Every structure is written in structure tokens, then in C-alpha cells.
Amino acid sequence: MFKNAIVRKPCPNMVNGITEANLGKPDYHKALLQHARYVNVLRQLGLKINVLDADNRFPDSVFVEDVAVCTPDCAVITNPGAPSRNQETNLIKDIIHKHYEQIYQIKPPGTLEGGDVMTVGSEYFIGLSYRTNEDGAQQLIDILERYNLSAHMVDLNEVLHLKTGVSYLENNNLLVCGEFKEKSIFDSFNKIEVPDDETYAASCLWINGTVLVPAGFAKTKKKVEDAGYAIIELEMTEFEKLDGGMSCLSLRF
Ligand code: CIR
């Protein structure tokens, strides 16, 4: 169960965030509304929320998940592979220090972004992407092993981050799209397949028994409901325009 979340308000400069989505520029005011609703839903689900101020120097800083990995016993400040995002880690340190005593940092030449790290109980899956390299993943594995947490690397080619394409919904249920449907590393999971015309919905978020699903993806929504979950749909259009999924807007622990 999660007790806390950290989020950062979107900044006006988010319209210049990194994207390969080809969906046009986000509407900042709409993004603020969507973000506020996301935060309210996390609060309704029982989380204590730390809301950080917007930082206009970093267009992508709303995607706070990428700059830290929070485990029950320690936190790891990452080293984002995207040059324009690399210094975002400095913005997260204070709040992480308020919550954790044991804090580590991924060092160059290792790169790692939190969107590539999926937690499955005491097991971690780390995507090797354009943003996360083997050195960064190995550094994280070495840290996790000190706490008896195990981790595996997962190759990926089709999506930005591992969690763009897979979401663990607890109870051994794994929401998967595209290349992840066939990967043998996920064979022991009960896979819930996201249809190819709804791949954005592969990024859902389990919060204390409820699954947050992006609005507008009826087939995926039904599959998650049929798996027995209470769901809440959230408008995510302005973050989708920046390749941001449901999990990337918060750090949960
Ligand atoms: C980026 O390209 O870094 C941002 N525009 C989107 C980051 C999304 N983060 C995530 O899925 N964890």
C-alpha cells in the first residue's frame, strides 16, 4: 500500500517538453486542470501528497517519476539520460531527504530514468532504453541487492520507458502492450493485453486497489475492470502529447 506521493505542478514552459508523439503542443491550462484532478484522486485514495512548485527552467519537470526511485527502505536519485532533464535531479533532493535516510545516486556514465523501473513486490524490472543504459541499471541493481531486493534488466525498442508499455497492477496482473506481450521474462505474470490501437493505455497506475486508467480507451478499461479492479478514468491528453503516462506524474511510496 502506498502512503505518500510527490508531484510537481506543470510549468508554462511544458509546451516545449520533449516529445515524439506528434499530437501537437499541450494546452497549459488544460494540463493544470488535468494535473489537479490527478492529485485530488491520489488524495482521495488515501495518499499524503507533497506538491512541489512548478519550475519553468525544466519543461519536463512535471514528470517527477523519472528523477528518483523510491523503495520501502531507500531512495535512489537517478541520472536522466535526456540532457535537458539531467539537472532535474537537483530539484527533488530536498523532498527525498525529508522522507528517507538512505539515499543513493546513479553516477555517470550510468544513466537511468525512473520510468524504466517497475516494482513487483521485492523484485524490480529495469528497462534498457534510450534513457537508461546498462551501467545505470547495474548501479541500481547493486543498490537494491543491499536491501535483499532483486532486479532484472529488460530490453525494449518500441516505447520511451519500460512503464510506457507495461504496468504492474499487483496480484500478479501485468498490463502489457506491443513488444512486451511476447517477452519471456514476463511469462509468469497473468498478462492483460492492451490492443494495438490503445497502446497509450498500457500506462495505468495501481493505487491501493484502484487502477487509474487514461480516459478514452474503452477496450483497455473493460479489460482492467474484468480483471476485478475498481477503476478511475483520468483525462491525460495534455501529458500524452509529451509522451507522459499515468505513472510518470508522481513518485509513490
Ligand atoms: C520525456 O520525454 O522525458 C517527457 N516528455 C516524458 C517523460 C515521461 N515519463 C515517464 O513515462 N516516466
The protein residue with its alpha carbon nearest to ligand 1, atom 1, reads 18
Q: How confident is the model at residue 196 (pLDDT cuts 50, 70, 90)?
A: very high
Q: Pick the atom of ligand 1 nearest to 203's CA.
A: 11
pLDDT tens string 98-121: 999 999 999 999 999 999 999 999
- Spatial distance between the Cα atoms of 166 and 199, rounded to a whole number of angstroms: 10
Mutational pocket test of ligand 1: of 199, 242, 249, 251, the residue with most ligand atoms within 8 Å of the beta carbon? 242
What pLDDT sits at residue 152? 97
What pLDDT sits at residue 206? 98
- Mean of the per-residue pLDDT values of the chain: 98
Catalytic residue among 11, 35, 161, 204: 161
What pLDDT sits at residue 79? 98
What pLDDT sits at residue 143? 98
What is the value of pTM for the model shown? 0.97
- Where helices occur in the chain by DSSP H, the ranges are 28-44, 89-99, 134-146, 162-165, 218-226, 237-240
Mean pLDDT value of segment 26-30: 98
C-alpha grid cell, residue 54: 512548478
Residue entry with cell 511510496:
253
Whether 177 is catalytic: no
Which residue from 128, 123, 170 is spatially nearest to 145, judged by alpha carbons? 123
What pLDDT sits at residue 233? 98
What pLDDT sits at residue 210? 98
- For residue 33, how far is its CA from the centre of ligand 1 (angstroms)? 19
Mean pLDDT value of segment 45-56: 98
Ligand 1 shell residues, CB under 6 Å? 17-19, 60, 63, 65-66, 82, 85, 115, 161, 163-164, 242-245, 248
